[in-house]
Amino acid sequence: QVQLVESGGGLVQPGGSLRLSCATSGFTLDYYAIGWFRQAPGKEREAVSCIKSRDGSTYYVDPVKGRFTISRDNARNMVYLQMNSLKPEDTAVYYCAAYRIFFEHCTLLLSYYDYWGQGTQVTVSS
């Protein structure tokens, strides 16, 4: 059974940092692209970042470029999102998601992703 479980969210002051973790199980992470998404209250879910399965290429949406870093450890079945210089507008529930790939690929399009975690709340406030 495919599972993704996020952790590491919480309350942080503006300018602070958090590291989100996504523990995966039930599938071989090497064969899946992984993305991080977020959903703020009253807004649609949006992409944050994705990472390819093997060469580790990464992609980010403009609002988080230079502040967030996605990484993965296929041997440990873990994916991470390091978030620095957090802003109030980063407040949202953050989700990790996965889809099977047959060649090196990752996308920021939500519709590609078949498996989702339950989310972890990130609140940036003073």
**In the structure, what pLDDT confidence band is assigned to residue 8 with cuts at 50, 70 and 90?**
very high
CA 40 – CA 32 distance, rounded (Å): 26
pLDDT digits (tens, 9 = 90+) for 41-76: 999 999 999 999 988 899 999 999 999 999 999 999
Give the per-residue pLDDT at 94.
98
Q: Do 46 and 61 meet the contact criterion of CB atoms below 8 Å apart?
A: yes
What does the DSSP 8-state code read for residue 10?
A: E
